[in-house]
Amino acid sequence: MPGKDVVADHATGLLNITFKVAPGPVATFGPFSVSGTSVIKPDFVSERIDIRPGEPFSPQRLSDLRRRLLSYEIIGSVRFIEADRLDAQGQLPIEVQVSERKENYFGFAANYSNTDGSTANAFWGSRNLFGGGETLRLDAQGSWFTEKSDAVPDADPFGYNFSATFMKPGIFTANEDLVAKAAVLREVTNAYVREAVTFVGGVRHRFNDDFNMQVGVDLEASQVETSTGTRDYPIAGVPFDFTFDNTDSQLDASRGVRASATIEPFAYFGDAGAGPLLMKASIATYHAFDEDKRFILAGRVQAGSIIGASMDEAPPQRMFYVGGGGTLRGYDYQSASPRNAAGIIVGGLSYFAASLEARLRVTDTIGIVPFFDVGSAFASEWPDFAGLQYSYGIGLRYYTAVGPLRIDLAFPGDSTVAGTNYGIYVSLGQSF
């Protein structure tokens, strides 16, 4: 019978307590109901509940379901309300209570770097365009390239990128989403100046909460000016994208792995025969050494290759470049990349880059981050690691409710190749 026995041992001064418990009936999941929806359709939530009545009750299954529902922008919170008792079938009915976020939003963002240039971005978005969790985001970005382009010295340093990104969830089943992005842009770099209209669209399949795959089309009509002249590039590709992410935060991860890989055969309109094959991958891992997450070690490795095209044939905007805040801090943008006989950056057919950071939180709002970067782009199809460059530095973090404000100061291993003696980077969120 349930209860407890209490025995006092006066000789030792110990009190021994034995609790007797009687387990209740084994519970299974019962029917799910949905409440709290107003702007989204109730079916949107119920169709994404993959737990069937009769399955053994599991808190982990509920935790996975909460994470899945919260991956949709319109859903702000998820609460499970369990019934007081089992039903006649021995099942536990559960109410899924959701709260919705505001349908529309807008905002502004800015980045600064003395090596990469500066950007300012204004955006507007809808989290529920047609009532079924569809998302639309419109971005208007302006950029300023800090130096004159080596390839086109008289080019205007201003750039722009106007884009629209759309996602419709559940086009076939609850696990398939339609995704599309169109953009009109002008890009100014040391290697080229590009004006382009681009479109990327396809279907994304969610294998589980962490892993998804996307296949689609990649179309581009661009005019690219380099040191050798101007050329039109009508390009069509079929990208296969793979993404794995089980980290605990997009802006400030403390545990987990974030990985992505792309395989894309592409060709130029009008050319006969098979085109080049582009491959690239990135993997980052995060580990907190204490429960308060005050010491986090973070590392990232990136690599890529273009097969089936020579240095003269590959489009400049599809080639690989290393140098700057996204790959090798402390180096001018694209500077750790192959150059032609005149010393102008032309890009590489492959690249490798890696970063290691020790993220130390000194107070609740202040942190310091010593870091080390290594990387280069190469003229060969596969990285040969000849002339590999490195940099090192220290970063300051100011932790806010939306994420850490990042300020990094980096120093190049070879200032002649880097084109500068230091690099400064300011943005919201960790570097990776």
Q: Which two tokens stand for residue 208?
A: 């589980």
Instruction: Name the CA dihedral angle for 159, 164, 169, 171, rounded to a multiple of 10 degrees.
Output: -110
pLDDT at 23: 77
pLDDT at 201: 98
Average pLDDT over the chain reads 94
pLDDT at 358: 98
Burial label, 343 (beta-carbon count in 10 A; 0-12, 13-18, 19+):
exposed
Average pLDDT over residues 324-339: 96
pLDDT at 270: 55
Q: What tens digit of pLDDT does each residue of 61-75 get?
A: 999 999 999 999 999
28-100 to CATH, choices 3.40.50.970, 3.30.70.870, 3.10.20.310, 1.20.58.1610 = 3.10.20.310
When comparing pLDDT for 282 and 8, which is higher?
282
pLDDT at 383: 97
- Residue written as token pair 């996204």: 326
CA 376/CA 386 separation, integer angstroms:
8
> 169-173, 244-248, 265-269, 396-400: which has the minimum mean pLDDT?
265-269
pLDDT at 10: 80
- 13 phi-psi bin (left φ>0, alpha ψ -120 to 50, beta other): left
CA 298/CA 367 separation, integer angstroms:
14
Does position 308 have pLDDT exceeding 70, yes or no? yes
Percent of the chain with pLDDT over 70: 98
How far lies 421's CA from each of 66, 202, 284, 391, in Å?
Answer: 48, 43, 28, 11
Is the CB of residue 283 less than 8 Å from the CB of residue 276? no
- Residue written as token pair 């084994």: 26
pLDDT at 351: 99
Q: What tens digit of pLDDT does each residue of 161-217 get?
A: 999 999 999 999 999 999 999 999 999 999 999 999 999 999 999 998 899 999 999
Residues, the chain:
432
277-288/295-307 β-pairing = antiparallel
CA 161/CA 138 separation, integer angstroms:
11
Task: List, in sequence order, every residue forming a beta bridge with 207; answer none if it has no partner.
Answer: none
When comparing pLDDT for 306 and 403, which is higher?
306
Q: How confident is the model at residue 42 (pLDDT cuts 50, 70, 90)?
A: confident
Q: What tens digit of pLDDT does each residue of 207-238 get?
A: 988 999 999 999 999 999 999 999 999 999 99
Does position 381 have pLDDT exceeding 90, yes or no? yes
pLDDT at 273: 52
Does position 22 have pLDDT exceeding 80, yes or no? no
What are the residue ranges spanned by the domains of the chain?
Answer: 28-100, 104-428
Does position 272 have pLDDT exceeding 80, yes or no? no
pLDDT at 147: 81
> For the structural domain made of 104-428, what CATH number should be given?
2.40.160.50
Q: How confident is the model at residue 150 (pLDDT cuts 50, 70, 90)?
A: confident
Q: How far is CA 297 from the centre of its chain?
A: 18
Average pLDDT over residues 397-404: 93
